[in-house]
Each structure stands twice: as structure tokens, then as C-alpha cells.
Structure 1
């Protein structure tokens, strides 16, 4: 397979996005398990990393949605895809810095849509597919996960109300190891595929693959490895938000939240819906808080997350569009966009070092005051 320089650059950028997706979304699988003490932080991210890699090999339906669904693969170029990836990476890094669990998936979709719109015209974006495969799942999935988690949490506490608290806690800690692992596996089947789809789209756009092709094995392996490495590093800032700032989580709640999230993600992956695992897991966590009597749900934190969710796709689209407007002017434009992207990423990293958040701080930090919600 003969790759041009720009194709190699796009592949590297796609894997860089996949890496940021890993550390940005680690909290999706492991925040509740860490918060309840079911798993130690380093053990949790290690298990999650391995299962994200395994999950990448279980399905390619979501990858097909990305590579031939939301944009016209005959009208995009590797340069446009590169611009879209820059938009996605920038949003991921900004929201990671402030600890907001926004959607890496929607950052990717927004970046690609904005770049394609500017670079190839509005008719190169399949808006009907965007609504069907992206927007509707974005609205429905957290609600479904939340409702399932509410019901599951209510039933769990009702069934175990006469049992000894220490027995219940120990049993559900064991259960959480299994459910958190299942969420990690589900995350790999959905999120790793998005990078596979982007790389496959790039190979199709450059003529290296025929239109409609599935991701080659090396693409699946590299995407799975990148998201696993990012996961292993641990997105401690976002784990802190989802595990301690949304609601006070007990082991039965964590079990219910993780079970509901895994079920929704796996079903969506099978159907090819490129949903946000962040939205699903957040919905499950909030649902588990509502489902427990006298639970504490921090609606202020939840509100900030919803604002971030609403801004993610358009914000990434704007950055992707700007990047495309510059990068499509020639090689100098592409080089300039790449240089600015690297500089911004380095700047965000240096800022993050001033206020580090690690595994120890995640487990030791006290939760913020909350508003009680009774059900």
C-alpha cells in the first residue's frame, strides 16, 4: 500500500485523537468503580485498557458509519479529514483540562462535518445520516441509560434492604468489577471504531482502498492499541468529575449504572449507532443517584456537563471549518494548521501541570456539597 505524506500525517493525527479519546473517556468505564472502592485506580485503568483493545475487534458497524455514512467519501480529501481531526483533538484537550466529560465522539463528528462543509460543500455532508446515526442516539441514549439505571437501582435497594450492609457492599464490589469490565469492552466496540472509520475514510479518499471497504486488520489493531494506551494513562480529571462530583455513589448504584451503560452501548454498537459513551455513562450515573432514596445529585455539575454536550459538536465543527479553510489553501496551510495544533496541545499540557490530578488525588478528594433528591 503506497501512502503519500499527507495520508501518513492524517493516520498519525487520527491515532493521536484516539489516544486523547482513551484518556478523556476512561472515566466512562471506571469512575464509579474507583469511587466506590471496588477497584484501585491503577488496576481499574489497566483492566480498562486491555478490554478496550479487545473490544476494538468485536465489531466494525460503527466504523462503517464513519467511513461511508456521515460524509461523502468521494468528496472528501485527506487534507479535509486532517482539519476535522484538529478540531476534534482541540476540543478533547480543552474539556479534559477543565475536567468536563464531554463527548469525544461528537467532537470527532463536529470536526469532520465542519471541515467537510467548508472544504467540499454542504452537499458532501449526509445530514439525514447525521440525524439518524448521531443526533437521535445522542438525545435518546442518556435518557434510556438513566431510566434503566433508576429502575435497576430502585430494585437493587428494595431486594437487599433487609440484608447486612457489609455483605451487600462486598457482593456488589465484586459485581462492579464485572460490570466495569463490560463497560470497557463496550467502549472499545464503539469508540475505537470511530478512529478506524476515520483512517478507513482517509484510505478511501486517497484511493488506497475501494469505496465501501471495511477497516483492514492493521487499522483495527492500531486504533485499538492507541485507545488502550490513552486509557492506561488515566483521565483522572474527568474520573474525578464523574465518580465524585455528580452524585454520591454506593456499590449497588455503581453496579446498576455500569450495567445500564454497557447494555445501551453494546446494543448501539451492534446497530451501527455512533453514540457518545460519555453521554450514556453519565446518564447511568445520574439515574443511579435518582434511583436511590435520599440520594445526592449535584445538578449544578450535571448542568455544566449538558452545556458542554450541547457545545461540543458545533464548537468542534467551527474549529474544523477554520482548519479546513486554511489547510486547503496548499501545503503551507496544512503545515500551519498542524503547527498551531501542536502548539495549542503543548500549551494545554503545560497548563495542566500547574494543577495536576492523579490517581491519589482522585481517591482522596472529598465530594462537594450536594442537593438531596428523594424518590
Structure 2
């Protein structure tokens, strides 16, 4: 297949992944303010979309980790080919949609890395993967970050409730946290843009380097940054309501004070990781902070069954997306016909997943009519009093 055509296909597919990353991870910033009523659902996702767009322009350190760290460079330059990147993206997108359908806040970042690693092993060989970089900048942060941010959120929640301790006959001042959440959740959305949008920038830059359109070791070009920023912003605005439901109500009941504590802990951790170039999972950070805040509020209950399902999803993400990326890479090795098969099979799978999602639709309209088990609650409507015109029709 013509090199220019496959590079164009990879860039298009990378932007589709960026779009799925946006709606998959909207919950990281906006689940808690929606759950506490601090922001209306559509307003919340609109604010998150704008701030993701802005955040994408603030840093490129994570993009450099993706484009120049995970896959080794050989004597002739970077070893991975655009076809293998194409296959890895298919694995990442399919896993993103599977976890979205299940309402599981899994890591889009790890889905991407898993897909690329699986495709690289099949297409080039296991020796082409920089396992030391994967361990240092992907796996270890994934293990450490949720625990660390959970502890920080626990302490922050305790402090928030201690400072606003209720005295008899006096207001406790905790209502102000609902307004503070607007700021803290916005900071999370901004930090998400500085981290997650860069991963797609890194993939596109990796593709341009592999295709010989950009020098090895160089960072993302401005048009790449702009396209990725726009794609993740549009994806964020579409909602991702299933995961918002899980993060906002599935793990613990969230009050404004603990929501503020969770969001500030999440934002601080993500911004620090973006500065250091760690390709951190914002989903894992946000989930850890929600659990930590739930433990920090007296009388709150953490739903460990749901937390276990989420943790299982985290464990499966890297290997599952790697297997799917490897399968797609095996087809891609067949040449142009393999690329066509990848596109056809991938399109069918995506279509089936979206059709399946229509069976139990979740949106901003019915978000508050769904119980913690994910079932729509049927609200009985009060019968409308017959109008004068109705009574005349009956008389006739």
C-alpha cells in the first residue's frame, strides 16, 4: 500500500482514538460535580471540552515519551511501521469501546500502549519494545499513582470536614464546596488535556517519523497539536455518560466537600506527571481519588464490588488491547488486503458495540433516573387532569 495513504489512514484512526479517549475520560473531571449537583450535565461536559482543548497546548513532554520512548530505534531509525501503528490503534479503540459499554473507567492510555506493544511484537519482534521505559513510565506509575492519590484524597477529605466541623446552632459552611467544585473539576479537565491529548500527538508523531516525514527525536508539529486538541475536545463534549454514572455514583456517594478534595488531588497528580513526562492514566488517578475521598468521609460507604470490577478492568487493559493489536497486526502483514480486512472487521465490531449500547441507553436526559445497579428507574407520572376540551370530546 502507498506509504502516503497508510500514513493518512493512521492519522485519521489516531484522531478517532483521541475522540474515544475524550468521551471515555469525561468522567475523570465531571462525574463528581454532576453527582453533587454543582454543575448541570451538559454544562459540565461543555466546560470540560473547552479546557481539554486549552490543556492540549500547554505541554508536549508526554507526547515525546510516546513518540520516542516506548518503541526502540534501530540502525535505520525507529523500527515500528505505520501499518503496525494502524493495527495498534484498532486494538486500543475496540477496548475503549468495550469498557465504555460496560461503564468501566479503564485507562485509554494503557489501551493505546497495549495495542502498540502487541502490534510491534508481531510486526517487528519483542526486542523492539523498550521494556525499561514501559516499566518506568507506564506500569510503575499505574501501580503507584492510584494508591498515592487515594491517600492524598483521604487526608484532604478529612481536613475539609475537620475545618468545616458543624457546631450546634451554626452553619457548617460546607455548601461552599459545591461552588469550589466548579474550579477544582475545571482544573482536572485542564490537566487531562495536558496529559491525554498528548498521547495521540505522540502516536501521530511516531507515524510521521516511521514514514520518514519527520526527523527522529523531534516533537509534535503545531498542526498535530491542534488536530488532537480539537478531537479530544469534541469527544469530551459528547459525554461518556455510562462512565460518569459509575464514577459519580457507582463507587461511593459523593458530597461536595469530598468531591472537591478528590478533584484537587486528581488535578495535582496529573499536572505533576505531565511535567515529568509520565504517561499516567488519568482514569486510574481519578478513580483512586474518589475511593480515597469515600474512605475519608465518616458514614460514607465504598462499594468494593464495583471497585474490584474496575481494578480487574485495569489489569486486563494492557494484555487485552495487546492481543487485539497483535491480531490486527497479523492481518496487516498480509499487505493491502490485510489493511482492508482490519478496516472492515474493526468497523463491524464498532457498529455492533454501538447497536448494543442502544439496548440500555444512558444520556444526560436519564442520568439521574438510573439506580446504582445501572437500571433505569421507572417514574410514575401523575395523571393529567382532563381539560375542558377533553371533557367536551367525551360528552360527544
C-alpha distance in structure 2 between counterparts of 1:63 and 1:103, whole Å: 17
What CA deviation, in whole Å up to 9, does each residue of 1:72-117 have, x standing for no partner?
A: 2511110000000000000000000110111000000000000001
**Separation in 1, partners of 2:246, 2:369:** 13
Task: State the match for 1:185 in structure 2.
Answer: 190
Q: For residue 328 of structure 1, report the CA deviation from its aligned partner.
A: 1.5
Q: Name the structure 2 match of 1:175.
A: 180
- Tell me, which stretches of 5 or more residues in structure 2 are unaligned? 375-396
Q: How does 1:1-375 map to 2 (within 5 A)?
A: 4-73=4-73, 74-162=78-166, 168-367=173-372
CA distance in 1, matches of 2:253, 2:306: 13
Distance 1:266 1:364 in 2: 34
For residues 104-155 of structure 1, the C-alpha deviation after alignment (integer angstroms, 9 at most, x for no partner) is 0000000000000110111110000000000000001111110000000001
CA contact (8 A) 1:34 1:363 kept: no
CA distance in 1, matches of 2:354, 2:171: 42
Determine the C-alpha separation between the residues in 1 that align with 2:373 and 2:340: 44
Residue 311 of structure 1 aligns to a residue whose secondary structure is: helix
How far does residue 366 in structure 1 lie from its aligned partner after superposition?
Answer: 3.6
Instruction: Give the C-alpha shift of residue 166 in structure 1.
Output: 6.6
**TM-score under structure 1 normalisation?**
0.96
Query: How much has 1:242 moved relative to structure 2?
Result: 0.5
The CA distance in 2 between the partners of 1:348 and 1:47, in whole Å, is: 28
Assess if the C-alpha contact under 8 Å between 2:164 and 2:174 holds in 1.
Answer: no
Distance 2:35 2:360 in 1: 21
Between the aligned partners of 1:116 and 1:76, the Cα distance in structure 2 is 6
Aligned-pair CA distance for 1:165: 8.7
Task: Write out per-residue CA displacement over residues 230-286 of structure 1, whole angstroms, 9 at most, x where no aligned residue.
Answer: 000000000000000100100000000000000000000000000100000000000
Q: Is the 8 A contact 2:164 2:172 kept in 1?
A: no
Give the count of matched residue pairs: 368
Question: Is the 8 Å Cα contact of residues 137 and 275 (structure 1) preserved in structure 2?
Answer: yes
Map of 2:386 onto structure 1 = none
Summarize deviations over 1:188-238 as a string: whole Å, max 9, x none: 000000000000000000000000111000000000100000000000000
For 2:250 and 2:262, the matched residues in 1 are separated by 15
Distance 2:206 2:99 in 1: 26
TM score, norm. by length of structure 2: 0.91
User: How far apart, in 2, do the equivalents of 1:114 and 1:3 lie?
Assistant: 22
Q: Highest CA radius of gyration, 1 or 2? A: 2
CA contact (8 A) 1:145 1:261 kept: yes
After superposing on structure 2, the runs of 4+ consecutive aligned residues of structure 1 that deviate more than 2 Å are 162-170, 363-369
- Cα RMSD (Å): 1.5
Deviation at 1:364? Answer: 3.2
Q: 1 CA distance for matches of 2:372 and 2:335?
A: 51
Query: In structure 2, how many angstroms separate the alpha carbons of the residues matched to 1:337 and 1:169?
Result: 53
